[in-house]
Every structure is written in C-alpha cells, then in structure tokens.
Structure 1
Amino acid sequence: MLVTFHGDAPFLAHPRDLIILQAKALEIEHRFIHIKAPFMESYRTSIMNLSSEGIQGIFTGDILDVCSSFLDRVVEGTPVELLRPLYFLPRKEVIDLLLPFQFDIVITCCSLTQMSLEYGMELAGKRLNKEFFDKLVKDEKLDSCGENGEYHSMVLDAPLFKKRIEVKEVGPRVSDGGKFIFYDMKDYRLVEKN
C-alpha cells in the first residue's frame, strides 16, 4: 500500500493527481491520510490505525535525517518498523543504484534559497539522469539527491510501473513568495509502455 500523509496546503512539488496515478501505475492500493496539529500525535494515531490493519513497516526514501529523527519518534513504542534502505548511503552509491533502471523522473520544484533563479529555471522540468547529477554536483555544489530541499521530483515511469505516466509539460514558474520554482504540468494520464 502507498500512503501519502498530507496537511491542509495543496501539494505543489508533488501534485495529488500525479501521486494517484503513480499508485495506479504500480497497481497498488493508495490512501491519503490527513495530518493536522499536533503533528506528532496525528502521525502516531494514523500509524497505529495502519498497524491495526496489518501494516508492519513504513518505508521511506530518506537518505539524511533532516527532521530531527521525527519519524523515529513517531514509530517509537508502536509495532510499526521504520525502514530506510537508503539511509546514510553515500550519494554516489544512491545515484549508481538508481541510474541503471532507467526511471523517468522529472524535477518538479527547485528551492531559490538553495540556488540562483537562473539555475533553478534551468533545472525545473529536467530529467534525473547521469548528466543531471554530474552538473548539479559540479556547478552548484548542492546535495545531488536534494536531501536538503534543493529540489523535489516525481517519477513518471519505473520498472515496476505497469503503465507510464504522460503529462503535458507547461513550464517553470516562480512561486508567489519567490522562494521556489515549480514546474507546472497538467493533463496527467496513464498510457501503455512502448
């Protein structure tokens, strides 16, 4: 099961409709779970509810602990295990694990507190591939996996997807507050793989 925890604000870097299609492409059950303040209590309640349905573990793609061990504290004392197969792996190792599988991953958001406007406009909408990682590491000296919030991404195709996601790409736009560049996409749909 894919579970997406969300707050009140809409997802801009990770569009809700695109997340729904990812679960459909994987042919797995998906659920959005609303989280509200107090957040620790809300997460713990949700995780205990999932546990009562037979969920035994939560997987994340976290590489760094960027939230003061928040998820560790959430699952502490619950029967649910926190599983992070990429945790503290060197970035090059993560990238080397990812690239051979030819995922189609698009950059959906860039943080303008982490990079220049020009560089963010260039990265938004790009695909994650070897050239992308080499350029990011070389040009900006940013975390190549975006673990400090440099960028966010969405998977449009993956080896386990039964179909791929096709989107109409609109282009980058700076957020109202000027802190982020979002790569606007619309007309999401599942299509047969070639």
Structure 2
Amino acid sequence: MSWAALTSGGKDSILAVQKAIDAGMQVTHLVTVVPENTESYMFHSANLKAVPVMAARCGAEYVEIRSKGVKEQEVEDLEKGLADLGVEGIIVGAIESEYQRSRVAAVCDRLGLKLFAPLWKMDPLTLMHEVASRLDAVIVVCAADGLGDNVLGKKIDEKLIDVLLAVHKSRRIHLAGEGGEYESLVLNAPCFSEPIHCSEMKFSYEGLRGEVMIERFW
C-alpha cells in the first residue's frame, strides 16, 4: 500500500513520516501545498524549497500543489492535487488541530483514501522529547510573545525544550507550536539518506514575527 505525506518540512509532518516508515508503510510521495498567503489557515510557507531535497533523501516523489491560501478554498486545492496521485492513503502530522485534521479527513473520505495521523492527541512534551532525540530540527519562524532570539534558528534539543516550557508556563503558548506560535524545519531524520545542507541563515523580524530565511538547500 502506497502513502503520500503532507509536509512543509517541519518536525511534526516529518516525525509522522518517520513513524509511518517505522510501521513498515511505503511512503512514495511527499506533498507540499505552497500557499500564496503567508497567513494560510492550513499550510506553512517558510523555507518550502527544502522539501524537494527531503523527498530525494527519502526516496520519494515530490509533489507541489499551488494554492492562493484562501480559507476553505485551499482545502479544495488540496483535494484536486491529491486526486490523481495513485496512492491509497495520506499521512499527516496533526497533533491537536481539529480544524486541520477534520478537513484532511474529509478530503480523504471524498477521495476514498485512508488517513494516518500518528501524532494525533500525543502528549506535547513527549512529542518534543521524541523530536529532540530522533530529528535534527531547527525553529525557523516564531510568532508569539516570549519567543524571539531565544529560539529562532536554534536546534530543538533538551535545552531548547526547557526554554519553550518556560514560555509555555508564563505565556500559555502551545509547547509543540500547534497554535502557530513557531514553525520548524527538519535537516536530518532516520529516514533521510543523508542530512540536508543549507546556505547561510538570515534573520528577519516584523513585530512579533521572526523568520529564518534560507536561500538554498542541497
């Protein structure tokens, strides 16, 4: 049975891919929705140029779906992009977002596809420890009070989890960033044939939002 994984290259979706592979599932496609709107309700937009390289590292086919990122219409764009892939199931990295999970589940139902969401309702702290132990992931966007130079561009390890825990307790952010408080990028995982390499990280801030911009991946 072949599976396509929805991924922006972040920790949750890549950990979901890894768990699928651990379970003996055949991940044949990495699918990225590229939204024109950086405030998309469903999809991330930062450093998506890394995903084709990730697909190559995983021995999977890269599929890009373009979307204007308009609420609800972007779900239709996703459905059209998945309709002719020839896979039997979709993998997602949703943790607690019913908005995301329910819409992908509805798309799968309409297309007759199975849904695999191995992180769904996983304890956020347990998830973060697994990310730290299994993946080389860095935070590339922060968008919440209390997050800035203390996390941006830094690897998710046990020390950084302590920083996020402190902000979680004082500002009530979601520890795993499920509310959009931060976004991550995976540079290595057990399912990669070798790590992702990247050009220099450049930092940009606008209000509460900080972003790491990377020009090239290989």
Same fold (TM over 0.5): yes
TM-score, length of structure 2 as denominator length: 0.73
SS at match of 2:161: helix
Please show how residues 1-194 of structure 1 align to structure 2 within 5 Å: 1-9=29-37, 14-36=46-68, 38-50=73-85, 53=86, 55-67=87-99, 69-101=102-134, 103-111=135-143, 114-116=144-146, 119-141=147-169, 142-175=173-206, 178-189=207-218
Deviation at residue 22 of structure 1 after TM alignment: 1.2
Amino acid at match of 1:22: M
Shift of 1:20: 1.5
SS class of match (1:61): coil
Letter in 2 for 1:29: E
Where structure 2 has 5 or more consecutive residues not aligned to the other structure, the ranges are 1-28
Shifted more, 16-25 versus 36-45: the winner is 36-45
CA distance 1:173–1:44, shift in 2 (3 Å): same
CA distance in 2, matches of 1:39, 1:92: 30
* SS state at 1:49 partner: coil
CA contact (8 A) 1:121 1:172 kept: no
Letter in 1 for 2:47: P
CA distance in structure 2 between the partners assigned to 1:66 and 1:172 by the alignment = 32
Q: TM-score, normalised by structure 1?
A: 0.81
Q: How many residues were matched structurally?
A: 179
Structure 1's consecutive aligned runs of 4 or more residues displaced over 4 angstroms after TM superposition are: 9-13
**Equivalents in 2 of 1:84, 1:184: separation in Å?**
29
Which is greater in Rg? 1
% identical aligned pairs? 24
Per the TM alignment, residue 45 of structure 1 is displaced from its structure 2 partner at its CA by 2.5
Query: Which deviates further from its counterpart, 158-167 or 12-21?
Result: 12-21
Q: Please report how far the alpha carbon of residue 18 of structure 1 lies from its aligned counterpart in structure 2 after TM superposition.
A: 1.2
Structure 1 alignment gaps of length 5 or more: 190-194
Residue pair 1:137, 1:143 contacting (<8 A) in 2 also: no
1:154, CA displacement in angstroms?
Answer: 0.6
How far apart in 2 are the matches of 1:136 and 1:115?
12
- The one-letter amino acid paired with 1:182 is E
